[in-house]
Amino acid sequence: MYYSTDYLSPLGEMIISSDGEAICGLWFYGQKHFPSLDDFTQNDDLPVFSDVKKWLDDYFNGLNPKINFKLKPKGTEFRLNVWKILSEIPYGETLTYGEIAQKISPTMSAQAVGGAVGHNPISILIPCHRVLGANGKLTGYAGGIDKKIELLKIENILNSI
């Protein structure tokens, strides 16, 4: 069973999901690959939800909070591998799809990585917004390019692109 709670971010309303112990999802309402709400039971009282909301408050206030709760995204082995690499991108830094592809295999395509990045179920916490196209170009974001730009501004990344 998956539980959910809502979070009102400065960039719009979000939904957080958990299996009761770990965070399994964090999405902007209406974004690409948004899950069916039928999959969740509303529960605003889980301790992990309080932890995530505090983390998000700090993040949106320009801090670099440390994740002190479990993340448990669900996906294929390939996607999990890509999301692990995303999780290792430091606050305020970026990688390109091609750089991530090279970390996986010399023959891996940036497009395959892009598909996995686009299906990241835990936005912001697994920082897919820190991934750029070739030559540092801003590319798509499941939550919308406008939100990606704002997230990069929070981390003072846009000034260096």
> Is 128 a residue of the active site?
yes
Question: What does the alpha-carbon distance between residue 26 and residue 11 come to, in Å, rounded to a whole number?
Answer: 13
| Cβ(113)–Cβ(123) below 8 Å | no
SS3 state of residue 9: strand
Select which of 128, 132, 142, 152 is catalytic: 128
| Cβ(136)–Cβ(97) below 8 Å | no
E-strand ranges in the chain read 2-9, 12-18, 23-28, 40-42, 95-96, 131-132
Residues marked active site are found at: 128
